[in-house]
Each structure stands twice: as C-alpha cells, then as structure tokens.
C-alpha cells in the first residue's frame, strides 16, 4: 500500500488522464493487459533504454512493449528506414523489395526456406495453425498448458487456470480462457505439460487411438509467459522426435524468443529445427508485424492457394522497412554479444541479492530475457508455477521498480526484456530496486 500510494503521488498526470479515459475508453485502456493499479502510467516518449511519462518521470525500460523493443526506443537505423518509407507511401497491398530482403534474411537465420507475413503474433499463430490443419487435413491441435500464443480462439485455451482445474499430466483439461470461446473450439485444443515429453507422447498416442490425431504441436521452445522457463536437456529433441515419428507438424512460437535470444531465435539457440516458426514483436522494431516461416513442403499448400493466407496489411511497406533495418543494422551478431553480457550480469546480480537477504527464489534468463522466480522449488511447467511461485512478490516488485525508475511488464507471468541500447547503468538500477525490496522484506 505504501508503494502504491507513492506511485500515485508521483504520477498525478497519468491519474488525471485515466479518469478522463474511463469515460470513453473501456476500462481506461486500449487493451486489457495495459491495466495497472493505481492506474496505467501514460508515456510521452522513449529514447534508447529509457522512457518518460506525462509527469516527467524517467524509467529504464525493461517492459519494452511486451518484449517488442529489443532495438531500444527511437533507434537511429529504424528512424531512418521508417522516415524514408513514410515519404514514399505507406500502404499498397502490393509487395515491396524490402519484403524479399527480409524473407532471405529470415530464411538464413531460422533455417526455414519459406516465409509469409501478418501484423501481429496472434495472426502468425492463427495462420500457422490453419496451415498445419490444411496440410494434414486434421482438426485437433496440441499446446502446452499455460502457454499464451495470442488472442484468437484456437489458442485461448488452458492458460491462466486455477491449480485445481489443471488435471493430471497425461490428461490435462481443455479450458477456455475467458468467456466467448466456443466449447467446440476449446475441445479441439489439447494441453500437455511443458518439459514432459513422455506425457506429450502418451497424450498424442491416446488421441490417435481415439481417431483424433493432431495436426500440430504449437509451443514455445523456452516458455516466456510464466516468467522464463527453459527447456530441460533433451526435451526439445524428444518433442522433435515424437512429432516427426507421428507425422505431426511442430510449430515453435517464437513471437517472444525470435530475434531476442539469438539471431535465429530459440531455433538456433537450442539447435532443434521445427517445421514452422512464428515471429512478431521484435521483428518490426515497434511497428505491427508478424511472420510465419516453414518448409517448402508445408508452404506448398499456401503457394497453391489450398490454404488461404491473406490480410490487407500483410507485408506492409512500413513494417517491412523497419524489419529490414532491424535485421541488417540493429540485431547484428555484436548486438547478441552485448545482450548476453548484460543479461548474465543482471541474472548473477539478482541471485546475489536473493542469497544475501535469504529470499526464496532464483533467477533465470537467456540473452535479452529473464526473470526472478520467487519460489521455494524449481519451476519447470504450469503446475509447478502455480504450486510454488509466490503470487504476491512479483506484484510488489513491479511497484518497487516503478517507484525507482524501472519499468517492468505487468503481471507475474512476465519477464524483463533488455534492448541493444541498455547499458550497465540500467542493470544497476534494476539491481538497486530489487535490493531495496529485499531489504524492506527482511527488516
């Protein structure tokens, strides 16, 4: 309460805008995950690793637009590419050369030869699933319990469920995430636990026996929506083997990991190549964008127009210009060396603080991504997350951070994202904030 009152006192301009917004913008926000107590902070601008709010407060940005801004804010290369493009016309619904260059570079990075474009992560996973269904002629899909893949009906299933509703590892429940998802669609999406290849295989074999062979398994190679959960050794290889053996399309949803954990995303980092990859977020450097990569064989159903992959803004010239500049000039091999070094320092610093104050938990991360798990046991899937993760400390940490010039994505499921423009000074700020909270908690 003290920290919330302190934030309210420091952000009266945001409070006034929130009151005004409540009259005409539902819930006072453009999108539900932007809500926050005491109210959402209204930003005016960002530069590099920093953003400023309407009251003039400065923050080191670890939220980075839900992990989209790995380039940092107002990067000169993106400004130049987008500014040039604006003057040449921003939308034709006809291809521009940039889309070819982006496809060539993505094919090189991800080892998948064929690419198509959309405007968000949700569109990317929606189209990828439809393509997988079109290729296989099957309806059922398998996802990881607790994974978020966007806001369309196919995947708004078994995400933020109470512990008591999860079900056993080899027979988890398909549960709609919020109202409005048809039960018939929910029933087509079958969840399995992360980091448990035998449970996945058992479930798939049962589905096959029931005449419901899945079209695809859609998953993040490293989970980024329960904080960060890394794959245990051998897990991704086992999933690759199971899906290949049964002729099931393996989709790595790299909306959060792609271009953020290595040049070629989690696919490169973990050395396991799926049949399809979905990208969004960091691809556009802050402009709406998304992409689907796949093998020649899979994308043949799109090339032949058997599966319709369409959209007015697909391959939008502004997004493609930003993506081209990002890939060519910003997200370079040196950028990942910088991100890895800063992230390793931040992870070690957080662990040192937890250890020094005797706070239960550990820190986990990869390249630009990471989080502190406040927990009394290792977190390896949704069940252990719900059982062991302290539900209050991440919320308290968000307030401590905001009051000390550190902006984090809201919610206990979110992680930090560093940008190529972050420096040791930003890492210091984060560590000072965690230190302040740890000190108060143990006093």
Binding segment for ligand PLP (CB under 6 A), chosen from 163-171, 218-226, 328-336, 367-375, is 218-226
- Using CB positions, name the residue nearest to ligand PLP: 121
Least separation in angstroms between residue 150's CB and ligand PLP is 3
The C-alpha atoms of residue 358 and residue 443 are separated, in whole angstroms, by: 12
Check residue 255 for interaction with ligand PLP (CB under 6 A). Answer: yes
Least separation in angstroms between residue 21's CB and ligand PLP is 21
Least separation in angstroms between residue 251's CB and ligand PLP is 11
Q: How many residues bind ligand PLP (CB under 6 A)?
A: 15
For 357, other C-beta atoms within 10 Å of its C-beta total: 16
Pick between residue 224 and residue 434 the one whose CB is nearest to ligand PLP.
224
**Using CB under 6 A, which residues numbered 221 to 240 contact ligand PLP?**
224-225
Active site residue 139: no
Give the CA distances from residue 305 to residues 46, 129, 309, in Å, rounded to whole numbers and listed in that order. 42, 16, 8
The C-alpha atoms of residue 298 and residue 116 are separated, in whole angstroms, by: 12
Check residue 220 for interaction with ligand PLP (CB under 6 A). Answer: yes
Check residue 148 for interaction with ligand PLP (CB under 6 A). Answer: yes
Using alpha carbons only, what angle is made at residue 208 by residues 203 and 212, rounded to the nearest 5 degrees? 100
Active site residue 435: no
**Residue in 50, 116, 133, 256 binding ligand PLP, rule: CB under 6 A:** 256
Asked whether 411 and 224 are in contact (CB, 8 A), the reply is no
Check residue 280 for interaction with ligand PLP (CB under 6 A). Answer: yes
Binding segment for ligand PLP (CB under 6 A), chosen from 50-58, 220-228, 304-312, 337-345, is 220-228
Determine which helix (DSSP H) or strand (DSSP E) holds 54, and give its type and residue range: none
Give the CA distances from residue 116 to residues 100, 258, 347, 425, in Å, rounded to whole numbers and listed in that order. 10, 15, 36, 39
Question: Would you state the structure tokens that stand for residue 152, as one six-digit string?
Answer: 């369309």
Active site residue 281: yes
Provide φ and ψ at 163, rounded to 5°: -55, -40
Binding segment for ligand PLP (CB under 6 A), chosen from 147-155, 315-323, 351-359, 370-378, is 147-155
Check residue 274 for interaction with ligand PLP (CB under 6 A). Answer: no
Is the omega angle on the peptide bond into residue 377 within 30 degrees of 0, that is, cis? Answer: no
The C-alpha atoms of residue 115 and residue 95 are separated, in whole angstroms, by: 13
Question: Would you state the structure tokens that stand for residue 212, as one six-digit string?
Answer: 């419901």
Instruction: Give the bridge partners for 144, in sequence order.
Output: 192
**Using CB under 6 A, which residues numbered 149 to 168 contact ligand PLP?**
149-150
Question: Would you state the structure tokens that stand for residue 192, as one six-digit string?
Answer: 């399995």
Contacting positions for ligand PLP (CB under 6 A): 66, 120-122, 125, 148-150, 220, 224-225, 253, 255-256, 280
Catalytic residues: 148, 253, 281
């Amino acid at each position: 309460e003290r920290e919330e009152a302190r934030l309210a006192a420091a952000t009266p301009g945001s409070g006034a805008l929130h009151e005004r917004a409540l009259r005409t913008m539902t819930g006072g926000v453009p999108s539900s995950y932007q809500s926050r107590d005491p109210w959402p902070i209204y930003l005016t601008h960002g530069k590099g690793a920093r953003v400023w709010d309407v009251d003039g407060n400065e923050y080191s940005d670890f939220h980075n637009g839900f992990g989209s801004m790995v380039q940092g804010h107002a990067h000169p290369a993106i400004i130049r590419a987008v500014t040039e493009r604006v003057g040449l016309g921003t939308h034709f619904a006809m291809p521009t050369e940039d889309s070819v260059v982006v496809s060539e570079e993505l094919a090189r990075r991800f080892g998948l030869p064929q690419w198509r474009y959309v405007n968000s992560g949700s569109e990317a996973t929606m189209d990828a699933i439809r393509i997988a269904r079109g290729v296989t002629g099957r309806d059922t899909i398998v996802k990881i319990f607790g994974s978020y893949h966007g806001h369309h009906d196919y995947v708004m299933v078994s995400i933020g469920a109470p512990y008591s509703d999860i079900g056993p590892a080899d027979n988890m429940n398909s549960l709609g995430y919020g109202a409005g998802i048809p039960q018939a669609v929910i029933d087509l999406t079958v969840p399995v636990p992360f980091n448990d290849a035998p449970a996945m295989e058992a479930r798939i074999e049962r589905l096959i026996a029931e005449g419901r062979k899945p079209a695809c398994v859609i998953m993040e190679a490293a989970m980024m929506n329960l904080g960060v959960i890394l794959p245990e050794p051998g897990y991704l290889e086992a999933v690759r083997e199971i899906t290949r053996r049964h002729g099931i399309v393996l989709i790595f949803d790299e909306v959060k990991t792609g271009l953020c954990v290595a040049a070629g995303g989690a696919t490169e980092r973990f050395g396991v190549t799926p049949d399809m990859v979905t990208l969004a977020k960091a691809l556009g450097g802050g402009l709406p964008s998304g992409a689907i990569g796949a093998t020649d064989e899979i994308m043949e159903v799109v090339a032949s127009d058997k599966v319709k992959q369409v959209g007015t803004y697909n391959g939008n010239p502004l997004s493609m210009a930003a993506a081209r500049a990002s890939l060519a000039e910003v997200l370079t091999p040196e950028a990942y060396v910088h991100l890895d070094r800063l992230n390793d320092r931040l992870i070690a610093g957080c662990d040192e603080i937890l250890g020094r104050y005797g706070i239960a938990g550990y820190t986990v991360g990869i390249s630009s991504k990471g989080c502190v798990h406040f927990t009394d046991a290792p977190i390896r899937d949704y069940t252990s997350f719900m059982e062991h993760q302290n539900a209050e400390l991440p919320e308290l940490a968000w307030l401590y951070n905001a009051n000390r010039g550190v902006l984090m994505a809201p919610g206990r499921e979110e992680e930090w994202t560093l940008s190529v423009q972050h420096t040791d000074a930003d890492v210091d700020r984060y560590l000072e904030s965690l230190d302040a909270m740890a000190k108060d908690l143990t006093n």
